[in-house]
A and B are shown apart, each in its own frame.
Chain A
């Protein structure tokens, strides 16, 4: 169970990333954020976001057109 859940469904690039960044800001290091997105481009973008920022993409899954990401905040 994630420490926080962000519903980014219906939002297009770059809003899921920008909202995820904002949500991560309010989390302590080591805590997790779950993001739900309907943007197909979010698959490549969350991977790139995590590689660049050092936050960990713990898992991702897809079902019914919704991608779910679990990110653990660095530090």
Chain B
């Protein structure tokens, strides 16, 4: 259903600092929140200059109050470890009210048990590491999100803002 992160050309780009990375963040569920924040914070820790551009559902990850959810709907690969085995959930079950909330709770408790950082913590680390975060103006308008609902510091920009960043980044990811 969704593409995995796509990496740009591995060849060296003349005139571009190899220690630069941009990530377009398009998804706002609990599971999809991890790849961009893990890679963003780790790249920053490894000395890269990182820019994250949040658009569509990715904007959800910038909210001051985060309540991220995961859904098993259309996600046949989601199999939770349970009583020594792995259990998947049919799409039909996901439609029952409360099932996705329960699955989200389960995944969060699993993460806590395994020492995986909550997204709030990774996001704070990203801010501390001076990761540049840009929210997409157009999707903010569409979803009627205000800057006051979102974390600071935050820049607002559009497609041209991102493209400028991308032309100056050695690694460009779309997640």
Contacts and interface: CB of A to CB of B under 8 A. Distances in A.
B115 A14 contact: no
A interface, size bucket: 10 to 19
B74 interface: no
A1 interface: no
A18 B114 contact: no
A71 to B, nearest CB: 13
B45 A12 contact: no
A8 B3 CA distance: 33
B95 interface: no
Nearest to A10: B115
A39 B41 CA distance: 18
A39 B117 CA distance: 13
Contact of B115 (A12, A18, A49, A52): A12
B117 A21 contact: no
B81 interface: no
B45 A17 contact: yes
Given A17-B42, A18-B41, A12 B116 contact: yes
A12 B34 CA distance: 13
B39 to A, nearest CB: 8
Given A14-B38, A14-B41, A52 B116 contact: no
A13 interface: yes
Interface in B28-72: 38, 41-42, 45-47
A21 B45 contact: yes
22 contacts: A11-B115, A11-B117, A12-B115, A12-B116, A12-B117, A13-B38, A13-B116, A14-B38, A14-B42, A15-B115, A15-B116, A15-B117, A18-B42, A18-B45, A18-B125, A20-B45, A39-B115, A49-B45, A49-B46, A52-B46, A52-B47, A53-B46
| 9 A-B pairs closest in CB distance | A21-B45, A12-B115, A14-B42, A11-B115, A10-B115, A12-B116, A52-B46, A14-B38, A18-B45
Interface of B: 38, 41-42, 45-47, 114-117, 125
